[in-house]
Each structure stands twice: as structure tokens, then as C-alpha cells.
């Protein structure tokens, strides 16, 4: 459902444009006709554009962002102040301070200076100043309040700018375009709508026309703020519920921990026992390796050798002495080599004995032949 209707806008005089000779050709799509040298705005398009702009501003307000209202002309300055204050948004209804958006840090310094003067008044140091200084500071405070008092709570750049008469507030529109801030504007037939993101074609010189449009826009902002409050309440309720559940879980956790500690202590003992049992077989396995040492001393060919008498001595020695084993091993090959060398000597003695036996036999046969 639209926030305004054709009859309401017609009654407020939103359809009146400027004279034909002052028109801007870019506004041709929004002009319905010409009568008596004056352009008539198509109010059906105005209704649609108001709904579009109001929906966009509602989403901005719902996200918790600020919208800056700008109107410095006499017909709209009082209305803009009243409507913006009702929704808690900043506004500018006096001279637009150049660089307010592009040089926002400097504007913030001026606002802080105004806050410093207020702090001096509250603390009582303001009364200790001389009469001349009091007069100068008072005038300075009044000037700052007039120009910047409405944006004292604007601590960061606004998320959107709503402008009445974009031709008069062209500096504000240019700064917003430069910073990429979306611009909502009431555009008359003599203005250029190409620099405006959300165009509202209507009469920007009539007080009633501006008021009707601002009523629709501010109603959308109020809806957005209410939805934001509901979302916050839901979020707080969800957080409270989560905290309550966390506390319940925390209360239940200590009991579980006690049961776990009781169960874990036997597990540690059971796990420690196999480690000791596993360590024992390692020693048993090492023992056979040491017992195998005497098996190397078996030398069947060395029975007759005199060196074999040393074997019992070696067996009596501890099996763990590695040098004794190496010495026994070294002696064993030597003993095996010795019998091998003696074998030819035995064969030679056997041949000599056979020769001796043959010689007496030959001598005995010789006399018999004689």
C-alpha cells in the first residue's frame, strides 16, 4: 500500500512546476503537461517515487545508520527541523558549512570546541574569566550552536542525505556524490535529477508539498527504528537464554568431571602395568643372545689340541665379557689351522715307516737268493 495518494499530493500542490523557460530537459520524463506557461508534474510517478525512497530510508534506519536532512530555504527550514528532530536524525537548516562531508574532521573539531565551552560552564571555570573573554566566548558559542548545533551528535559521516531543492543545495549534493553517499531529493522541473539517487519529482517551493513528503518519509523511518528495537529485544532475549543454558551446562559439568576422574585413575594403572610386562620380555630376549656365546666354542677338530684345555676357563668366565669372546674366537681359528698344517707331517712319517719295513724285507730276500 502506498504511503501517499494522488488526491493528497494534488491538494498539497505538489504538481506545480516552474515556468517553461526555466525547465531542465532532464526532467522531461516526470512532466505531465504544460498549462499557462507552467509545467505540471505527473503525480502518479511522484507517488511511486515517494514509496521507493521511503522503503530505502526505512532499511537505512533499520540498520542503525543516520540520515542527514538538508533544507536551508525559508519555506522548508522549520519543517525540516521539526520532522528530523521527531525521528532523532541530524539536520542542517542554516547555511551549509562548506566541506561538512568532505572535511568532516574539521567540522568535528568545531563541535568539540562547543562541547568544551559547555563543560567550562558546568565546572564553573567560565565565571572566572574576564568580562571581555566571557563576551567573546558567548558569541562564539551562539554562532556554533546556530550552524552546527543540529549535528552535534553526528559522530561519523551519515549513510544518506535527504535534500529539499537540490538546485539550491548543490554543494551538499556534490560532496555526497564525491563520497558515494546516496542522495534523496525533492526535485522540481528546473533541477537536474541525474546526480540524485532517489528522485522525488514534486514542488519544492510550497510548504505543504514539502510537509506531505516529509511526513511519508519520516513515517517510514519510524517503522524502521521500531523494527530495529524489536530485533534488539529478540537478540537480547536470545542472549539471555543462551547465557542461562550456559550456566546450566556449567553447573552440570563439575559432576561429570568427578565421574571422569574416578574412571580415569584405574585406566592409568591398567595402562602402566602392561608397560612393565612388556619391558620384562626385552630383558629375557637379551639373555639368550648372551648364552649363545659358548656355542661358538664348539670345535670338534680341536679335541686333541692342547689349547682346548683353555675352553673350560673361558666357559667359567662371565658371558657378558665381550673381549674374552673375541679372544676365544680368535684362538679357535688358530687352533683349526694348526691341525691342518700337521696333517702332511703325519703322512711323511707313515711313508718313512713303510720304507723301513720294505728295506729289511729286501735284505732278507737277498741272502735267501744267494
Torsion of the alpha carbons at 108, 114, 120 and 123, rounded to the nearest 10: -80
Over residues 329-358, mean pLDDT? 47
C-alpha 162/C-alpha 356 separation (Å) is 147
CATH of domain 6-234: 3.40.50.10490
Number of C-beta neighbours around residue 326 at 10 A: 10
Three-class SS state of 256:
helix
pLDDT value of position 344: 46
The tens digit of pLDDT for each residue in 3-56 reads 888 899 999 999 999 998 989 999 999 999 888 889 999 999 999 999 999 999
The tens digit of pLDDT for each residue in 213-249 reads 999 999 999 999 999 999 888 888 888 888 888 888 8
Using the predicted structure, report yes or no on whether residue 277 has a pLDDT greater than 50.
Answer: no
Taking a C-beta distance cutoff of 8 angstroms, is the pair 75, 93 a contact? Answer: no
Taking a C-beta distance cutoff of 8 angstroms, is the pair 125, 176 a contact? Answer: no
Using the predicted structure, report yes or no on whether residue 362 has a pLDDT greater than 60.
Answer: no
Lowest mean pLDDT, pick from 127-141, 142-156, 243-257, 268-282: 268-282
Grid coordinates 519543517 are at which residue? 79
The tens digit of pLDDT for each residue in 76-128 reads 999 999 999 999 999 999 889 888 999 999 999 999 998 888 888 888 888 88
pLDDT value of position 326: 43
Q: Is the dihedral of CA 36, 42, 46, 49 positive or negative?
A: negative
Q: What's the longest Cα–Cα distance across the chain?
A: 191
The tens digit of pLDDT for each residue in 141-184 reads 999 888 888 898 888 999 999 999 999 999 999 999 999 999 99
- Which ranges in the chain are annotated with CATH 3.40.50.10490? 6-234
C-alpha 299/C-alpha 91 separation (Å) is 116
C-alpha 67/C-alpha 89 separation (Å) is 6
Amino acid at each position: 500500500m502506498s504511503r501517499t495518494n494522488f488526491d493528497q499530493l494534488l491538494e498539497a500542490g505538489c504538481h506545480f512546476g516552474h515556468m517553461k523557460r526555466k525547465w531542465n530537459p532532464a526532467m522531461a520524463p516526470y512532466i505531465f503537461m504544460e498549462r499557462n506557461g507552467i509545467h505540471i508534474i505527473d503525480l502518479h510517478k511522484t507517488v511511486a517515487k515517494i514509496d521507493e525512497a521511503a522503503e530505502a530510508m526505512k532499511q537505512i534506519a533499520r540498520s542503525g545508520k543516520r540520515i542527514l536532512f538538508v533544507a536551508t530555504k525559508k519555506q522548508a527550514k522549520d519543517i525540516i527541523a521539526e520532522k528530523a528532530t521527531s525521528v532523532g536524525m541530524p539536520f542542517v537548516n542554516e547555511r551549509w558549512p562548506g566541506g561538512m562531508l568532505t572535511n568532516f574532521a574539521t567540522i568535528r573539531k568545531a563541535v568539540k570546541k562547543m562541547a568544551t565551552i559547555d563543560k567550562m560552564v558546568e565546572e564553573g571555570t567560565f565565571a572566572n574569566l574576564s568580562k571581555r573573554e566571557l563576551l567573546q566566548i558567548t558569541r562564539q558559542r551562539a554562532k556554533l550552536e546556530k550552524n552546527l548545533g543540529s549535528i552535534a551528535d553526528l559522530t561519523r559521516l551519515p549513510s544518506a542525505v535527504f535534500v529539499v531543492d537540490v538546485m539550491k543545495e548543490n554543494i551538499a549534493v556534490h560532496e555526497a556524490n564525491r563520497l558515494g553517499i546516496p542522495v534523496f531529493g525533492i526535485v522540481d522541473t528546473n533541477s537536474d535529477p541525474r546526480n540524485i539517487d532517489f528522485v522525488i519529482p514534486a514542488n519544492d517551493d510550497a510548504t505543504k508539498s514539502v510537509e506531505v513528503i516529509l511526513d511519508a518519509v519520516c513515517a517510514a523511518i519510524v517503522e524502521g527504528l521500531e523494527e530495529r528495537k524489536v530485533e534488539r529485544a529478540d537478540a537480547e532475549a536470545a542472549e539471555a537464554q543462551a547465557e542461562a543454558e550456559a550456566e546450566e551446562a556449567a553447573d552440570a559439568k563439575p559432576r561429570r568431571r568427578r565421574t571422569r576422574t574416578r574412571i580415569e585413575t584405574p585406566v592409568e594403572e591398567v595402562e602402566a602395568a602392561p608397560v612393565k610386562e612388556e619391558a620384562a620380555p626385552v630383558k629375557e630376549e637379551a639373555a639368550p643372545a648372551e648364552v649363545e656365546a659358548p656355542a661358538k666354542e664348539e670345535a670338534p677338530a680341536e679335541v686333541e689340541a692342547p689349547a682346548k684345555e683353555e675352553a673350560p676357563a673361558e666357559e667359567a668366565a662371565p658371558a657378558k665379557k665381550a673381549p674374552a669372546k673375541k679372544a676365544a674366537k680368535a684362538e679357535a681359528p688358530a687352533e683349526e689351522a694348526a691341525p691342518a698344517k700337521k696333517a702332511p707331517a703325519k703322512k711323511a712319517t707313515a711313508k718313512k715307516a713303510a720304507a723301513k719295513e720294505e728295506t729289511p724285507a729286501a735284505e732278507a730276500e737277498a741272502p735267501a737268493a744267494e
